[in-house]
Amino acid sequence: MMKNILLYKVLARYTSTKAARFVPKTGVYPKGYEVGGIHCGVKKDGKTFDLAILHNTHGKDASAAAVFTTNKFKAAPVQVSQKLIKETKGAGINSIVVNSGNANAVTGAQGMKDAEDMVIVTDSVLENKPNSTLVMSTGVIGNNLPIDNILSGIPKLALSHLGNSHQNWIDCATAICTTDTFPKLVSKQFTIGKDTYTLAGLCKGAGMICPNMATLLGFFVTDAPVSPSALQLILKYAVDRSFNSITVDGDMSTNDTIAAIANGAAGGELIDLNSSCAERYAELQKEITDFAQQLAQLVVRDGEGATKFITIKVKDALSYKDAKSIASSVANSSLFKTAMYGKDANWGRILCAIGYADVGNGSVVPQKTSVKFVPVDGSESLQLLQNGEPEKVDEERASEILADEDLVIEIDLGTGGGQGADFWTCDLSHEYVTINGDYRS
Amino acid sequence: MMKNILLYKVLARYTSTKAARFVPKTGVYPKGYEVGGIHCGVKKDGKTFDLAILHNTHGKDASAAAVFTTNKFKAAPVQVSQKLIKETKGAGINSIVVNSGNANAVTGAQGMKDAEDMVIVTDSVLENKPNSTLVMSTGVIGNNLPIDNILSGIPKLALSHLGNSHQNWIDCATAICTTDTFPKLVSKQFTIGKDTYTLAGLCKGAGMICPNMATLLGFFVTDAPVSPSALQLILKYAVDRSFNSITVDGDMSTNDTIAAIANGAAGGELIDLNSSCAERYAELQKEITDFAQQLAQLVVRDGEGATKFITIKVKDALSYKDAKSIASSVANSSLFKTAMYGKDANWGRILCAIGYADVGNGSVVPQKTSVKFVPVDGSESLQLLQNGEPEKVDEERASEILADEDLVIEIDLGTGGGQGADFWTCDLSHEYVTINGDYRS
């Protein structure tokens, strides 16, 4: 009981401060979309939002792309959406429907039928052509959906609670949350040539709290005109460098899905794969990648029990793959993560995790490897290892840097290859163990 | 301060009870060896043993084999021993010298010279031919060894403190410890045909406590007659299924080394790779593998903050590699490990970790996968998942099973391939975070 009270206090503290810091007060949203969220009766408390819809109202078919979990136990909605993207090649996907509170995973044939019914009812209510809706679910696994509540919730939401206001977007982002302590929503405007476009993105994810599997779900929507095949490549590139470059606890869920929709409502020339639009393609890719990173970082900020936000920056690797593999190895090391929690300038654990990363010979040369702490306040960085030799570390300065919530750890491999990768992680705290181990006691 | 007191209490409790349960009171040791340990002045407290020697006194050259860390930051003693094994092909290695308290890792040219000097002095004092000694170090990284203390300690130990008594073996096992809460020593006798042989093994390892990198070190010695090439293959096979099938926190150190020595002092025909001794080879391999598993399990028992000892048993995989990869994925999942700490029958986290193991398509078929808890007291097992369908779990029975320190989790992949693998792990507790994160506060 004591523990539960403590847990609630911890969560309450996080909810208030993180929400205040990371949930936007206003936003600028893409043209031609309506979104919203309501409570439909999946979550047991009778009020928390648990159903979200996003709909393309531009009047012309949108392009869609999606990347899915590689977990072999794929939830029913993942299987249904994956099939849909495959069959349509991403052309004419105009809506997304999401329920939270139940993941519809490990639910057999009934689960597949439920996911398909969510698509059918959403398409019908929104007057889409059939197979125009992607479906996502997140929450408890192993239980069938309360499908009647969802199927009667869809028309209610679609007909009376969709819109394009900031509050509609917040409602939508809130309705996909499970154990998240704040809704994750980002928006921005950018220009490509003379055209101004808008991007909005929302996502959820905060590690797993049993019996929830807190899936990583996210979607970006833009009013830029993009072909489905270009959008798929851009999404893959962006997700590799954002949602696939973060870790809270290293576990990959059965439901992870990131989707993108582009409806072209802001006009301008179509961005496709042919060489004539290579420059605009590259600009869009950069915008979406930066944006995806911003969104993915919010998931790390909301990591279970996280007290630190750490960027692992690997430089001068032989390849991007090497750089990412090494960054991931450090970011996932429990020893490194507990050292960060303990505010301990432990270069040994960093070096050790670099050394066992799954990369080829020659990718890491001890005598060329340097590691430093880079404070985010712009003050001088602190060298820990220089060309494989440990530096005499100023412990006072280290403590100063480690007292901050944010920290960048720069690993320079010195291979001459010039490739780099960033990875974002949080620390491993007592709260993590409390949330994941003690929640029942 | 409170935390420190708590930590000491925790450690003290573990030390007494685990030592009482897992340190043997007597032993049976192989012929033709002398071993021992003393304090030579690496550890700062002025008394804890920190230097160990094992020596073949049989009068004939022994065979040796070793496997080393794959970490790219290899400590100086690893580099020196690896070179020695390569050059001698394992023939004529008659001694092992180990210091604890300092890992001689990331120590540059001086570190290499120090490791080489340890070999030279040991060979000289023990009247070996040159290059007859393997060297190992474990402890703090980034500092040079107090080499004078070690080099003057070697003759003292070699000339006055070696023997073949149970206490000598305990001293030797104690002298290689760092953050271990008890010395790890196992011995047994077995027969191959009409010949009786003896095996002794000792090891250390208990996760890493900064600034120590608590390396995994171990060695087996036997009086069976085995050729170096046969011994190398047997050791590799045994280590794959023992020391490479355990995890405390998933981190691999710069110093990990497991060696084997066989001096043939008990007589009998040489066990080599030719087909005439295939049967005896297989018997020896089985004995050494079982033995290595017993020893490796002690490392898990002594895992930092461990309150549970968990065996992950994967059955009916397509290949041994698949089985091991899946077992390892579950054993290393922080979410699974915290669930075990919380005594939570969370099949979702097990299934999730099975699903993201790095195996090919067809290696895991959700509809064929079954998972159950097998109590070690022989009482009825508890099915959690049957052919991909979750079972209605009797929570009371689950709590009963999870109250035990030991637990077997059986994962039946149902592929028809018939291959299996075992993996041993512990839970992830508050104490783990305390030991690794808070130790300075």
Query: CB pairs under 8 A, 24+ apart, for B58-61?
Result: B58/B31, B58/B32, B58/B33, B58/B223, B58/B263, B58/B264, B58/B265, B59/B32, B60/B263, B60/B264, B61/B91, B61/B92, B61/B94
Residues of B in Cβ contact (< 8 Å) with A254: 351-352, 355
Residue carrying the six token digits 């491999």: A413
Q: Are B286 and B340 in the same domain?
A: no
Does residue B390 belong to the interface with chain A, where contact is any CB pair within 8 Å? yes
Mean pLDDT of A300-329: 91
Which residues 6+ apart lie within 8 Å of A396 measured at CB?
Answer: none
The mean-pLDDT minimum among A48-57, A279-288, B253-262 falls in B253-262
Q: B348, A142: Cβ pair inside 8 Å?
A: yes
Asked if residue A3 belongs to a domain, the reply is: no
Q: What pLDDT shows up at residue B346?
A: 77
Asked if residue B162 belongs to a domain, the reply is: yes
Q: What pLDDT shows up at residue A439?
A: 40
Residues of B in Cβ contact (< 8 Å) with A252: 352, 355-356
Q: Give A77-113 pLDDT, tens digit per residue.
A: 999 999 999 999 999 999 999 999 999 998 889 999 9
CA distance B432 to chain A (A): 9
If one counts every other C-beta atom within 10 angstroms of the C-beta of residue A148, the result is 10
For residue B276, give the CATH number of its domain.
3.60.70.12
DSSP code string of B79-133: HHHHHHHHHHTTBT--EEEEEEEE---S-HHHHHHHHHHHHHHHHHHTTPPTT-E
SS3 state of residue A341: helix
Q: Are B26 and B89 in the same domain?
A: yes
Q: What type of residue is A311?
A: T
CA distance A362 to chain B (A): 9
DSSP code string of A188-256: EEEEETTEEEEEEEEEE-----TTEE---EEEEEE-S-B-HHHHHHHHHHHHHTTGGGEESSS---SS-
Beta-bridge partner residues of B246: B424
Helix axes A430-437, A2-22, angle to 10 degrees: 120
Q: Distance (Å, rounded) from C-alpha B134 to C-alpha B427?
A: 34
Reading the block at residue B70, the tokens are: 């794959």
Dihedral angle at the C-alpha atoms of B146, B148, B153, B159, nearest 10 degrees? Answer: 160
Out of B69, B174, B179, B215, the active site residue is B215
Of the candidates A251, A347, A388, the beta carbon closest to that of B335 is on A251
Out of A133, A215, A222, A254, the active site residue is A215
Q: Are B263 and B386 in the same domain?
A: no
Q: Are B101 and B235 in the same domain?
A: yes
The residue among A258, A282, A302 that closes a domain is A302
Residue A211: is the preceding peptide bond cis (ω within 30°)?
A: yes
Q: Are B219 and B251 in the same domain?
A: yes
Q: Is A405 annotated as a binding residue?
A: no
Percent of chain A with pLDDT over 70: 92
Q: Are B315 and B248 in the same domain?
A: no
Give alpha helix (H) positions in A315-392: 320-331, 334-341, 347-355
Q: Distance (Å, rounded) from C-alpha A397 to C-alpha A395?
A: 5
Asked if residue B187 belongs to a domain, the reply is: yes
| DSSP one-letter code for B243 | G
DSSP code string of B6-42: HHHHHHHHHHHHHHHHHS-S-----TTEEEEEE--SS
Q: Are A220 and A355 in the same domain?
A: no
SS3 state of residue A313: strand
Chain centre distance of CA A166: 20
Asked if residue A5 belongs to a domain, the reply is: no
Give alpha helix (H) positions in B126-178: 147-160, 166-175
CA distance A105 to chain B (A): 10
Q: Give A325-340 pLDDT, tens digit per residue.
A: 999 999 988 888 888 8
Nearest residue to B204 via CA among B243, B168, B241, B233? B243
With CA atoms as reference, the chain B residue closest to A342 would be B437
Can you give the pLDDT of all 441 residues of chain B as single tens digits?
A: 344 444 444 454 445 577 788 999 999 999 999 999 999 999 999 999 999 999 999 999 999 999 998 888 899 999 999 999 999 999 999 999 999 999 999 888 999 999 999 999 999 999 999 999 999 999 888 889 999 999 999 999 999 999 999 999 999 999 999 888 899 999 999 999 999 999 999 999 865 433 334 578 999 999 999 999 999 999 999 999 998 888 766 566 788 899 999 999 999 999 999 999 999 999 999 999 999 999 999 988 887 778 899 999 999 999 999 999 999 999 988 888 888 888 887 788 888 889 889 898 899 999 999 999 999 999 999 999 899 888 888 888 988 898 899 999 999 999 999 999 999 998 888 777 776 665 433
Q: Distance (Å, rounded) from C-alpha A296 to C-alpha A201?
A: 10
Interface A-B, measured as beta-carbon pairs within 8 A, has a size of 190
- Contact by Cβ (8 Å): A382, A400: no
Q: What pLDDT shows up at residue A119?
A: 98
Q: Is B304 annotated as a binding residue?
A: yes
- Contact by Cβ (8 Å): B88, B283: no
Nearest residue to B9 via CA among B214, B17, B297? B17
pLDDT bracket for residue A436 (50, 70, 90) = low
Looking only at Cα atoms, what is the longest distance across chain A?
68
pLDDT bracket for residue A252 (50, 70, 90) = low
The residue among A286, A302, A318 that closes a domain is A302
Q: A72, B354: Cβ pair inside 8 Å?
A: yes
Chain centre distance of CA B241: 11
Q: Distance (Å, rounded) from C-alpha A271 to C-alpha A230?
A: 7
Does residue A440 belong to the interface with chain B, where contact is any CB pair within 8 Å? yes
Q: Are A340 and A230 in the same domain?
A: no
Q: Are B289 and B354 in the same domain?
A: no
Reading the block at residue B305, the tokens are: 């903050």
Asked if residue A1 belongs to a domain, the reply is: no
Q: Is A410 annotated as a binding residue?
A: no
Which residues 6+ apart lie within 8 Å of B212 measured at CB?
Answer: B103, B138, B139, B140, B178, B179
Q: What pLDDT shows up at residue A16?
A: 56
Asked if residue B195 belongs to a domain, the reply is: yes
Q: Are B188 and B236 in the same domain?
A: yes
Q: Give A347-365 pLDDT, tens digit per residue.
A: 888 988 898 898 988 999 9
The residue among A302, A321, A339 that closes a domain is A302
Asked if residue B420 belongs to a domain, the reply is: yes
E strand or H helix at B403, and its extent?
A: helix B395-403
Q: B217-222 and B257-262: which strand pairing?
A: parallel
> Is residue A9 pLDDT above 60, yes or no?
no
Of the candidates A207, A211, A342, the beta carbon closest to that of B437 is on A342
Q: A342, B438: Cβ pair inside 8 Å?
A: yes
Q: What pLDDT shows up at residue B246?
A: 87
Does residue A390 belong to the interface with chain B, where contact is any CB pair within 8 Å? yes
| DSSP one-letter code for B226 | B
* Neighbour-count burial of B48, counting CB atoms closer than 10 A to its CB (0-12 exposed, 13-18 middle, 19+ buried): middle
Residues of A in Cβ contact (< 8 Å) with B108: 388-389
Q: B349, A210: Cβ pair inside 8 Å?
A: yes
In order of B90, B192, B272, B279, B351, the CA distances from B275 in angstroms are 21, 16, 8, 8, 43
Residues of B in Cβ contact (< 8 Å) with A208: 335, 348-349, 352
Q: Distance (Å, rounded) from C-alpha A388 to C-alpha A413?
A: 10
Residues of B in Cβ contact (< 8 Å) with A351: 73, 106, 141, 254
> Is residue A70 pLDDT above 60, yes or no?
yes
Q: Distance (Å, rounded) from C-alpha A152 to C-alpha A156?
A: 7
Q: Are B399 and B430 in the same domain?
A: yes
- Contact by Cβ (8 Å): A277, A235: no
Beta-bridge partner residues of A212: A140
Q: Distance (Å, rounded) from C-alpha B325 to C-alpha B314?
A: 10
Q: What pLDDT shows up at residue A311?
A: 96
Buried b / exposed e along A403-440 (16+ C-beta atoms within 10 A): eeeebbbbbbbbbebebbbbbbbbbbbbbbbbbbbbbe
Nearest residue to A90 via CA among A145, A132, A57, A148? A132
Q: What pLDDT shows up at residue A212?
A: 39
Does residue A347 belong to the interface with chain B, where contact is any CB pair within 8 Å? yes
Residue carrying the six token digits 């790890």: B184
Q: What pLDDT shows up at residue A214?
A: 54
- Main-chain dihedrals φ then ψ at residue A438, nearest 5 degrees: -105, 0
Q: Is B198 assigned a catalytic role?
A: no
- Residue B50 zone, left/alpha/beta (φ > 0; ψ -120 to 50; rest): alpha
Residue B211: is the preceding peptide bond cis (ω within 30°)?
A: yes
Q: What pLDDT shows up at residue B344?
A: 80
For residue A349, give the CATH number of its domain.
3.10.20.340
The gap between the terminal CA atoms of chain B, to the nearest Å, is 7
Q: What pLDDT shows up at residue B14?
A: 47
> Is residue A6 pLDDT above 50, yes or no?
no
User: Total domain count for chain B?
Assistant: 2
Does residue A72 belong to the interface with chain B, where contact is any CB pair within 8 Å? yes
Listed by number, the residues of chain B in 166-225 with a beta carbon closer than 8 Å to a beta carbon of chain A are: 207-208, 210-211, 213
The total number of residues written for chain B in this structure: 441
Q: Distance (Å, rounded) from C-alpha B4 to C-alpha B7?
A: 5
Residue carrying the six token digits 């392009």: A63
- Contact by Cβ (8 Å): A103, A71: no
Of the candidates A213, A334, A364, the beta carbon closest to that of B352 is on A213
If one counts every other C-beta atom within 10 angstroms of the C-beta of residue B11, the result is 16
Q: Distance (Å, rounded) from C-alpha B397 to C-alpha A349?
A: 40
Does residue A338 belong to the interface with chain B, where contact is any CB pair within 8 Å? yes
Q: Are B316 and B297 in the same domain?
A: no
Asked if residue A273 belongs to a domain, the reply is: yes
* Sign, CA torsion B315/B319/B324/B326: negative
Nearest residue to B76 via CA among B42, B35, B117, B26? B117
Structural domain range at position A65: 17-302
User: pTM for this one?
Assistant: 0.85
